Amino acid sequence: MSMTSTGIASRLAEIAGAANVSSDPSQVAPYQIDGKTPAAVARPGSSEEVAEIVKFAAAERLAIIPAGARTKLGIGMPPRQYDLALDMTRLDRVLAYDSGDLTLSVESGITLRKLAGVLSEHGQFIPLAVPFMDQATVGGTIASGVDSPLRQLYGTARDYLLGIEFVTSDGVAKKSGGRVVKNVAGYDIHKLMVGALGTLGVITKINLRTFPMPRMTRTYVARFRWANGACEFRHAIARSHLRPQSIEIIAARDSSLLRLDDRPGSLFENGRWSVLVSAAGEVEVLNRYRRELETLARGADQNALESFTELGDADESRLTSYVREFPALAAKASQPAAILKISALPKSFAGLAEGIHSVAMRHDIPWAVMMRGVGVTYLALTAQDQSAESLRHLKDACASALRCCVEGMWGRGVMPWCPAEFKREMNVWGETSGDFALMQKLKNVFDPHGTFAPGRFVGDL
Amino acid sequence: MPANETQQRTAIDSRLLRDLKKLLGKDGVLHTPEDLLLYEYDGSVEVARPDCVVFPRTAENVVGIVQLANRHKVPLVGRGAGTGLSGGAIARHGGIITSFARMNRIVELDADNQRARVQPGVVNADLSLAVEHLGLHYAPDPSSQKACTIGGNVSENSGGPHTLAYGVTTNHVVALEVVLPSGELMHLGSAALDTPGYDLTGLFVGSEGTFGLVTEITVRLTRLPEAIKTLLAIYDTVDDATETVAEITARGITPAACEMLDGWTIRAVEDYVHAGFPLDCTAILLIEVDGLREVAEAEAKDVADVCRLHRAREVRVARDARERDLLWKGRKNAFGAAGRLSPSYYTQDGVIPRSKLPATLRRIGEISKKYGLQIGNVFHAGDGNLHPIILFDERNEKQFGDTIRAADEIIEFCIQVGGSITGEHGVGMEKDRLMPLYFNEADLDLMRRVRDVFNPTGLLNPGKILPDSKGCGEIYVRPQPASGAPPA
């Protein structure tokens, strides 16, 4: 970077207007990533402005990181270079909404909350019950690849993302896909953008499928004395005809998350394994869920089952929000914490649970775990206190856990959230796989000079 | 075939044939003109002769074939059952067709994790049959599912009637083993979810054989529903039928399938299949709901109410599996039936927003009148995926020209109302000329460069999907008698 902050800011002001650009340290501080602060922040008001800014940045060899509500900037490795934060939140319009077709097109900076408001007028929603839901933008949600408990029934964003418009490093907007529910015209480039952490381009428009909002939901909690019962219960549901919208196995030991809900008989009870199952439908259907889930829970492991409860409305909304925000709650806890995401299929849940328990025991570290029924596990490890020694403990525990993933005992693992200093010694993405060369070549097609978020993604992409 | 394509063809080298036979055995290579005849076609209207057809049995065989093709600089095209509808499995510039007919093993069934690992030549319906006793199925169900292969489905990102509720191929594929045109064997994705890194599996599915040859596929298996209700709603006007579909969608009912047949198609089908469709009506909807018993029953009632609200003359519910199968047989054989009535027909695959269904069908009616062409409609109404069948006599030159113009007007209308040029059949060598209507040059250029990451020398399936940068608009699709393979 040869230009000064003020030089950058004044050129950006010509593109986006002075009011939407700043190089003031107090203004750029919120865009810090792992201790790196950009020289300037710009808030473009149109995809044309985004394209102009990208063109300028690429020409000056400046590195850009697009940001939405800045809730997930900690995901990934520290950027190699970071000159310019592109705040997308002014791009927050609904461009088209055909409620009769259940499809819509939005600008990427729109918040999930604003969008939910528009959709709810038509009794519709998008099943992105993701962490930081009250602040997060649609673009940030797609780019960070965070998932939702509702994936049990609806799949992930990849399954209902219909098309995307994005600006590549040549400063030209391009599109992939469309706005119809079925489409095989051209390559599915938009799928590459999901979870790519902004390393391929700046997403400006997003087309999504919408879904009818269920009129009624119920949530049931089966609490087991040990992991095996909980896992067996999950398997029994999968073998049944029931189609719940979410199945989450949750357990914690000594974790600060326990304090969220410390009443007797609650979801988070030290050392217990709870399974939270949510279903949608009419009364008759929900009654059947209650009946059959209870039978399945008893059949799974009679000795392990402590309780089976249908949650009341208030408890349902509170616990659903805990489950949704699990990674966020752990990341925001008062003690330093790290969260691992482990891809292991359901059949190995019981073994994984045992493995997690033994690593946590060995390192004497508080932990909490959430296993999505489809086969994704979030493990939160927390330091005992703020001391340097506890932090070192935590780091060792993380390293052990990641090693279990690399050695194939747990399934592939990444560490989406952890204290920034850990990243000096650990790669949060784990090791690259045999197809990494293809990823590098693709990155090179979209962004040959490393303009977008260089170094943040898998294998230093 | 345009002259430039003839020039690009390479006569097959006797040394290449010898090397291929050495690799695959004598029975692994076909090269006589009689043998090749069968491989000039797929389910589309295109024709091109390959120089030879090879039958690998292992991924190592495929690597060997790719290496030989590279050494001899001969184009390479993958092929499943050849039921595709856009020329994806045709050797447009000649060369070697790699048939996966002998790589048809189900390698692993993992019922607990609801996964299956299969070779590309496994027939779609065979996989569902193999897991039925476990209470599972493979959800994507192209109409050609009794013949088409999972490998072909992956290449085309195939759909089918039940993808309305269950999603298309890409929603069910989690990992791939592929051989790249460089000869490298590569694993993309994993049986477990959310593989870190770019979603190469998602990019690869639907790349129409232009990225690599697929040698193994890991798919998700889906629990069979407890109950299925199949409804037949009978209408006196097309408008009533399309408005029913729009309202079902708008009310938030998601049937497992929602298909429409118009009067002409019904009569063609009934004469052939005897599905029990009434001959004097103007449109029918074939709607299926499934799930828990209580859910299927309630939704069937809601659907029937909407049908009646939009003046369905009659709503029948299939009483048993036999009646249900017969209704579906009528639907899935509609294209075969059309083939019996007209010397030639041309089918399109445009998609529109469901809310635009009534207007689009009216527009197709106007276009039919304008050119004096019979256009039959049988399509996936629930997801707005049209399949207008334009009948013509190819000996009549004016009619032939009109057919192309009518087809183009329909596609232009689809794009105008916010739709797409193809919902499930693929671009192939048939719709590449339409791509510039839908994508601009920057979009297409990016796609070209993405393709070059996998297939830099154009060895694999040349002349597909992307219009040649300079030749665009010159390539002229000549509709010809279809082979009779039923489209999805």
Residue B167 CA to residue B486 CA, distance in Å, equals 20
The CA distance from B82 to B99, in Å, is 9
3 state DSSP class of A171: coil
- Give the tens place of pLDDT for each residue, A271-330: 899 999 999 999 999 999 999 999 999 999 889 999 999 999 988 998 899 999 998 888
| CATH level 3 topology of B106-223 | 3.30.465
Q: What is the pLDDT of residue B207?
A: 98
Q: Are strands A64-67 and A84-87 parallel, antiparallel or unpaired?
A: parallel
Beta-bridge mates of residue B126: none
A424/B18 Cα distance (integer angstroms): 56
- pLDDT for res A174: 97
Q: What angle do CA B259, B261, B264 make, to 5 degrees?
A: 170
User: In whole angstroms, how far apart are CA A14 and each of A18, A39, A52, B368, B439?
Assistant: 7, 17, 10, 54, 31
Length of chain A: 461
Which of A342, A360, A157, A359 has the alpha carbon at shortest distance from A249?
Answer: A342
Considering only the beta carbons, identify the residue of A194, A212, A238 that sits closest to B252: A212
Cβ contact, residue pair A186, B435, below 8 Å: yes
Determine contact, residues B337/B268, Cβ cutoff 8 Å.
yes
3-state class (DSSP) for residue A181? coil
B283-291 vs B227-235, strand pairing mode: antiparallel
Q: Confidence band (pLDDT; 50, 70, 90) for A185?
A: very high
Which residues in B lie closer than 8 A to residue A124 (C-beta atoms)? 252
What pLDDT is attached to residue B275?
A: 87
Alpha-carbon gap: B168 to the closest alpha carbon of chain A (Å): 8
Distance from CA of A235 to the nearest CA of B (A): 7
Contact between B419 and B353 under an 8 Å Cβ cutoff? The reply is: yes
In terms of DSSP bridges, do strands B344-347 and B314-317 run parallel, antiparallel, or are they unpaired? Answer: unpaired
Any idea which residue has 């029937």 for tokens? B304
Residue type, B402: D
Chain B residues in contact with A374 by the CB 8 A cut-off are 193
pLDDT of residue A264: 56
Going across the sheet that includes B52-54, the strands are B29-30, B52-54, B96-99, B76-79
pLDDT digits (tens, 9 = 90+) for A18-37: 999 999 999 999 999 999 99
B291 has a chain A CB within 8 A of its CB: yes
Mutate to test the interface with A, among B354, B430, B446 (most CBs of A within 10 A): B446
| Residue B182 forms contact with A (CB below 8 Å) | no
Is residue B37 classed as helix, strand or coil in its secondary structure? helix
pLDDT, residue A105, reads 98
**Cβ neighbour number for residue B333 with a 10 Å cutoff:** 18
Q: Does B74 touch chain A (CB under 8 A)?
A: no
Q: String of b and e for B268-300 (b: at least 16 CB within 10 Å)? A: bbbebbebebeeebbbbbbbbbbbbebbbebbb
Handedness of CA B193, B194, B198, B204 (dihedral sign): positive
Q: Does domain B3-99 have CATH number 3.90.1530.30?
A: no
Please give the structure tokens belonging to residue A294.
């209870």
Domain boundaries, chain B: 3-99, 106-223, 227-416
State yes or no: pLDDT of A4 exceeds 90: no
Spatial separation of the C-alpha atoms in residues B252 and A212, rounded to whole Å = 5
Q: ipTM of the predicted structure? A: 0.96
Mean pLDDT by 10 residues, chain B (488 residues): 42 87 97 93 86 98 98 96 93 96 98 98 98 97 94 96 94 98 97 96 98 98 97 96 93 93 91 89 96 96 97 96 91 79 85 95 97 94 94 88 93 96 93 93 97 96 82 39 39
B25-45 exposure pattern, b = at least 16 Cβ within 10 A, e = fewer: eeebbbbeeeebeebebbbbb
Strands (E), A11-102: 21-22, 40-42, 64-67, 84-87, 94-98
CATH number of B227-416: 3.40.462.10
Residue A239, both tokens: 């073998």
Cross-strand bridge partners of residue A86:
A42, A66
Looking at residue B484, its pLDDT comes to 37
Domains and CATH numbers, chain A: 1-213 (3.30.465.10), 217-424 (3.40.462.10)
Judged by CB atoms closer than 8 Å, whether chains meet at A343 and B195 is answered as: yes
Please tell me the distance from the alpha carbon of residue A164 to that of residue A159, in angstroms, as a whole number.
13
Pairing of strands A161-167, A202-209: antiparallel
Average pLDDT along chain A = 94
Which residues, including other chains, have CB under 8 Å from residue A399's CB and lie 6 or more apart?
A426
Candidates B113, B193, B205; nearest CB to A347? B113
Say if the Cβ atoms of A343 and B193 lie within 8 Å: yes
Count of pairs with CB atoms under 8 A, one residue in A, one in B = 232
Query: Strand, helix or coil at B379?
Result: strand
Which of A45, A48, A5, A46 minimizes the C-alpha distance to A27?
A: A5
**Which tokens in the block code for residue A337?**
């914490």
The predicted structure's pLDDT at residue B113: 97
Evaluate if residue A162 carries a pLDDT over 70: yes
CA atoms of B24 and B63, how far apart (whole Å):
12
| Cα–Cα distance, A128 to A158 (Å, whole number) | 11
Residues of A in contact with B353 (CB under 8 A): 98, 100-101, 103, 179-180
| The pLDDT of residue B2 | 41
A184–B422 CB contact, under 8 Å? yes
- Helices (DSSP H) in B163-277: which residue ranges? 163-166, 200-204, 238-250, 263-273
